[in-house]
Amino acid sequence: MDTVIKTRNLVKRFGRVQALDGLDLKVSAGEVHGFLGPNGSGKSTTIRVLLGLARSSSGSAAVFGQDPWNDAVELHRRIGYVPGDVNLWPNLSGGEAIDLISRLRGGTADKAYYAARKSRLTEVFQFDPTKKGRTYSKGNRQKVALIAAFATPAELYILDEPTSGLDPIMEAVFNQEIAHAAAAGSTVLLSSHILSEVEQLCSRVTIIRAGRTVESGSLAELRHLTRTEISFAAEGISQEQLAHIPASHDLTVAAGRVRFSVGSDKINAVLPVLATLDVQGLTVNPPSLEELFLRHYGEELAADGVKATAR
């Protein structure tokens, strides 16, 4: 089985609200797939459909080739899930919640193996399992779900903005665990709006907006569509010289620096010109997902009065 997740023209309506409007998503076995979109674009709804918590209004969705609504129980044996907003039972300790979820998932059959995994994860995530659910902060509640998800090996991990409450150190730990899982051959669907995280972890990305897929492909493919940002010291460089730089966009001179962007496939044409200008303090920023992201949502942001230039 090559394709792990496949949705075609997925539509989900809640009353009059159209949460998903023909969403296409394809995740192949073994890949770490970034699922990007702004708040309210339908990421969580898609995930709820994939987990059989909600039923699609039309279109198709398949996980491991099975119907997520009808075969939910069977599929869940192969899936580890971290919700975007983790809520715990107020009077159960974190350790108890982890054990409960793991037992439900059948991950505790080999007791010693499970205990070892649980204690390793508790340690790397620096988590105190003795507190009651109501006393944990958002980040700590998320750790409960993360530890429970990783303590039982899964073929597919579905993670809904799993790091939104974690500090940078814990984010690094999380990245490590994803790398472990990917190395073990698991497939990961990672929903996020933190682009650096997705750039670091994901090999392929799907970007959605208002319930529709707007872009999908490998990072390299997507980068092709974006611009590289170049800047250098402005001292001793005339306007006329700047006008000679080919294929430049949005050129500005401010705070003693010249900045402009250039299509990523045009860089080779720009570099010799920069050499002849003998520029100082040159920085070249590779295209980022952020830029791509902002380009897709630029119109929306502009309408809201936010300046939509990349970086």
Partner 1 sequence: MSTLSVLLRQRARRDRWQLTIWIAGIGLLAVVSASAVAQTYGDYAGRENILRLAIANPSILMLRGTPQGGRLDAFVFFEIFTFLALLAGFMSTFLAVRHSRAEEESGRAEMIAATPAARTTPTVATLIHGFLANVVLGGVVALAFTAGRLDAYGSVVTGAAVAATGVCFLGVGLPAAQFMRTSRGANAVAAGAVGLAYVVRGLGDALGRPGADGIHLTPAWTSWLSPIGWGQQTGAYASNNLTPLLLSAALAAVCLVALFLLQAHRDSGASLLAGRAGRVNARGDLSGPLTLAWRLQLPTIIGWCIGGAATGLLAGTLSKLAEQAASADPTVTKVLRDMDQGGGGSVDQLLISVMFSLVGVLAAACSTQTVIRMRQEETAGTAELILTAPVDRTRWFGDYLLLGTAAIVLVLFSGAVVSSLSALAVGGDPARVGDSFAAAVAQLPAALVYLGVLALLFVLLPGLTISLGWTLVGIGVFLGFFGALLGVPEWARNLSPFTHTPVPVGGSTDWSDGAWMLVIALAAAAVAVAVMRQRELKPN
Q: Does 135 bind partner 1 (CB under 8 A)?
A: yes
Least Cβ distance, residue 65 to partner 1 (angstroms) = 17
Report the residue number, 86 or 310, with the smaller CB distance to partner 1.
Answer: 86
Least Cβ distance, residue 135 to partner 1 (angstroms) = 7
Pick from 40, 60, 77, 179: which binds partner 1 (CB under 8 A)?
77
Least Cβ distance, residue 94 to partner 1 (angstroms) = 7
Q: Does 218 bind partner 1 (CB under 8 A)?
A: no
Of 75-83, 182-190, 244-252, 266-274, the window that binds partner 1 (rule: CB under 8 A) is 75-83
Q: Does 150 bind partner 1 (CB under 8 A)?
A: no
From the CB of residue 242, how many other CB atoms can be counted at a distance below 10 Å?
16
Report the residue number, 54 or 262, with the smaller CB distance to partner 1.
Answer: 54
Q: Does 103 bind partner 1 (CB under 8 A)?
A: yes
Contact 48, 99 (CB under 8 A): no
Q: Does 51 bind partner 1 (CB under 8 A)?
A: yes
Q: Does 131 bind partner 1 (CB under 8 A)?
A: yes
Q: Does 284 bind partner 1 (CB under 8 A)?
A: no
Report the residue number, 76 or 204, with the smaller CB distance to partner 1.
Answer: 76
Window 233-252: residues binding partner 1 (CB under 8 A): none
Report the residue number, 109 or 255, with the smaller CB distance to partner 1.
Answer: 109
Report the residue number, 26 or 132, with the smaller CB distance to partner 1.
Answer: 132
Distances (CA, A) of 271 to 199, 201, 202, 248, 291: 26, 30, 30, 12, 21
Q: Does 92 bind partner 1 (CB under 8 A)?
A: yes
The residues binding partner 1 (CB under 8 A) are 48, 51, 53-55, 72-74, 76-77, 79, 81, 83, 85-97, 99-101, 103-106, 129-132, 134-135, 145
